[in-house]
Amino acid sequence: MSYEILGITVLWIFLYGYLIVASIDFGAGFYSFFSLITGKRHRIHPIVERYLTPVWEVTNVFLVFFFVGIIGFFPETAYYYGTSLLVPGSIAIVLLAIRGVYYVYSQYGNRNNKFYMFLYGVSGLLIPASLSIVLTLSEGGYIHEQGGVVSLDYHALFTSAYSWSVVVLAIVSVLYISAMFLTYYAAKAKDKEALDILRSYALFWSVPTILCSLWVFFAIQRHNLDHFNKMVDNAWFFIASFICYVIAVYLVWKRSRLQLSFVMVMLQFGFAFFGYGKSHLPYILVPYLTLHEHFTNESMALALVIVFLLGLLVLVPSLYLLLRLFLFDASYVRGKLSKK
Amino acid sequence: MSHYDPVIYSRMLTTLTLAFHIIYATIGVGVPMLIALAEWMGIKRKDPHYLLLARRWARGYTITVAVGVVTGTAIGLQLSLLWPSFMLVAGQSIALPLFMETFAFFIEAIFLGIYLYTWNRFRNPMKHFMLLIPVVIGSSGSAFFITCVNAFMNTPRGFNISDTGKLTDVQPFLAMFTASMPTKAAHVLATAYVTASFILGAMAAMALLKGKNHVYYRKALKITMVAGLIFSLATILIGDLSGKYLAAYQPEKLAAGEWHFKTERYAPLIVGGILDDQNQVHYALKIPYALSILSHGLPSAEVQGLDETPKDLQPPLWIHYMFDLMVSIGMLLLFIGLWYVIAMRRRRKSGESARPLNKLLLSLIVVGAPLSVISIEAGWIYTEVGRQPWILVGFMKTVQGATKSEHVDLMLWIFAGLYLILGVSSAYVLRRMFKHHPAEEELKGGGSKA
């Protein structure tokens, strides 16, 4: 495997990791707020809180890792995306800041403050939308370079069916992934009431999720036919994704094997995400950046790969410990603390 | 300013973000070290007061961490948004420590999450204490790595630029370990520990000043002030080494900071003073030979003056005030630490250690906290403005690195608003947190509530 393939694969895995953990996080924040205004808060909030509190900071690191990594492996992305993303990127930063901070304020500082919960619940839905702009831009047609100045064509962006399809998919899938996860978590906690509510959310959002996925598919066909054709060549990714989706929703419907159901959700998005990524190559940004021509120099690539492998040696056991203590520990999940 | 200039606005926005972030970042690096000290003493001495101290600090720490994390994410992204051309070069040469920084951040994030939620989960308290070690390593590690990047900007090496502007012969490890890295990283870490000591110490001193005389506060003051004294001494030692580094590698920064215009031997150090339009210094205190000693360790040593740097490559001369501010606060903090330790020794000898401390000393400790933060800001302004007009000393001017994008001015206002909200709200939440749960109440409850 060449360094550039390894590099982009690593980055894509981390972006996928962020997609999953951030979706759970953002969606959970929204449900927490939603349950507050619909008067069901006491029923699902303990579940949401127990999961979210120890992991919020980790979620953020996945994102930082991705954007630091992409500049390391593909320095020219800084030039193109950096210049064109000033406004949408800044908006995303502001939203992330507000959400992160008010989440912590409401957890540790001033519990049950409605305004704080509103801020982090609602910003959580806008963040995926603002971050997904990067994926939209990568398809080309929105960024122009003229006389050494890179600029973003806002008119093209806001009037394009493709960009809107991505935004809607981002929001809908956040609500879907999150509800599917929390359903599993509630079942693990043996919390029947929370399970019922969360299950209905999960089933509700499963329909728009698959419809939006189809919409994105056809929007790509109109926006970037070349990419669409490559996606058709890799059709088995998307078929596998759909099969996983069907299994996941069926299991939730049947209320059985919910852990497997969430694994299926991860596979559903995994197949779709990697299928999309694979068919996007060799372009990082159509038509300016490609995988092979805009890769960093040999020695930096080697250094980054070495550091990355060493980093994983520390990271994987630590993440495992975190999951074992807060996700797989039955008594913690049920809200009972045990001495070990 | 009617004319829109992205360079000016990019500089202003970066300054604003960094100046705000550095407050929370410094607390983020320093406080885990003190939490670790307190918990360790609590376990070793079986003293519930120290354990409660660790627990209360940790609780407040989550709030500052939240602001630190989000502003850190902001500056991370802003580097690419505001300085795309610089990041193009940096990405190829200095990506390694940036990348390592995220690993350190990862480790810190994971273990802080575990630490905060496992106070009651382990029978053996040492197990819980051990969770803090990766937090300390992670937070100090990320400070170290990010300082490597800044050091690289001051003394770049580990690459060449060909005639066509392409980077060649990149050596990532060489770029990471540059001349300014050791003194910079050591200074950053030591001052973070000093600042955290004084911030936490000020909280205890404030309680004592208000007439609360619980032994809990006296213990808090003791641990923070002893730590503060030790780290202040280290800071001053490292500060001296930094002066010698500057003389050898960035003489123009030292010369501008010290208003040392002509190369000469037996150079005096100028303390305080005002500069007029003709570059004449007024009202300053001149310490003979001190600059030569600071620069090279010898009174007879020759110190390079600003006249050897071309006019258009000279940093602004007002950084002298920043240098003086930083150093004088550093000295004051050392003095406070010494005073505290001497006062406590006297008390112990005369058997009056429970008697309240001198009000002036307590007030000085309270004032020491904001002053230490001001000193951090002044130090960073000195070092950052001191390398102007370069963004990458000797290779790239700041003007060349900035974005050409529109709307930077609008972003400046948006972020100014954001930081204002974050600053005010974090102070409000922290105040509320400690006020609504006074330590005395928690002590009555056995100090075991989370």
Task: Give phi and psi for B277, each to the nearest 5.
Answer: -60, -30
Amino acid at A81: Y
Tokens 């961490």 correspond to B65
Amino acid at A21: V
Amino acid at A120: Y
A81 touches chain B (CB under 8 A): yes
User: How is residue B444 written in tokens?
Assistant: 């009555």
User: How is residue B351 written in tokens?
Assistant: 């058997």
User: How is residue B74 written in tokens?
Assistant: 């902001």
pLDDT at B358 > cutoff 60: yes
pLDDT at B448 > cutoff 50: no
Cβ contact, residue pair B88, A79, below 8 Å: yes
Q: How far is A67 from chain B (nearest CA, A)?
A: 8
Question: B20-74, pLDDT tens digit by residue?
Answer: 999 999 999 999 999 999 999 999 998 888 999 998 999 889 889 888 888 988 8
* Region of residue A141 (phi > 0: left; psi between -120 and 50: alpha; otherwise: beta): left
Amino acid at B136: V
B106-115: average pLDDT: 86
pLDDT at B196 > cutoff 90: yes
CB A21 within 8 A of CB A62: yes
What number of other Cβ atoms are within 10 A of residue B431's Cβ? 12
Cβ contact, residue pair A68, B411, below 8 Å: no
pLDDT given at position B199: 94
Counted residue by residue, chain A has a size of 340
pLDDT given at position B440: 76
B450: confidence class by pLDDT, cuts 50, 70, 90: very low
| E strand or H helix that includes residue A17 | helix A3-37
Those residues with Cβ within 8 angstroms of residue A290's Cβ, 6 or more apart along the chain or in another chain: A282, A283, A284
Question: B369-411, pLDDT tens digit by residue?
Answer: 999 999 999 999 999 998 888 887 777 888 887 877 778 888 8
Q: What is the pTM of this model?
A: 0.87
B116 touches chain A (CB under 8 A): yes
Q: Which residues of chain A have pLDDT under 70?
A: 1, 41-42, 53, 108-112, 330, 335-340
CB A337 within 8 A of CB B448: no
Instruction: State the virtual CA torsion across A146, A148, A150, A153 in degrees, nearest 10.
Output: -10
Nearest to A262 by CA among A24, A29, A57: A24
Task: Give phi and psi for B263, each to the nearest 5.
Answer: -60, 130
pLDDT given at position B449: 41
- Most trustworthy range by pLDDT among A252-256, B76-80, B116-120: B76-80
3-state secondary structure of B161: strand
Counted residue by residue, chain B has a size of 450
pLDDT given at position A112: 64
CA angle B147, B151, B156 (to 5 degrees): 145
pLDDT at B147 > cutoff 70: yes
Taking CA atoms, A277 is separated from A230, A231, B302, in Å, by 10, 9, 61
B93 touches chain A (CB under 8 A): yes
Question: A36-58, pLDDT tens digit by residue?
Answer: 787 776 677 777 777 776 777 77
What letter does residue B307 receive in the DSSP assignment? Answer: G
Those residues with Cβ within 8 angstroms of residue A95's Cβ, 6 or more apart along the chain or in another chain: A123, A126, A127, A130
Higher pLDDT, A72 or B134: B134
Nearest to A312 by CA among A10, A68, A21: A10
Question: B231-284, pLDDT tens digit by residue?
Answer: 999 999 998 888 888 888 888 888 888 888 888 888 888 888 888 877 788 887
pLDDT given at position A196: 80
B364: confidence class by pLDDT, cuts 50, 70, 90: very high
A325 touches chain B (CB under 8 A): yes
Those residues with Cβ within 8 angstroms of residue A239's Cβ, 6 or more apart along the chain or in another chain: none
Please state the ipTM of this predicted complex.
0.81
B439: confidence class by pLDDT, cuts 50, 70, 90: confident
| Mean pLDDT value across chain B | 86
Residue of chain A whose Cα is closest to the Cα of B59: A108
Task: Give phi and psi for B91, each to the nearest 5.
Answer: -55, -35
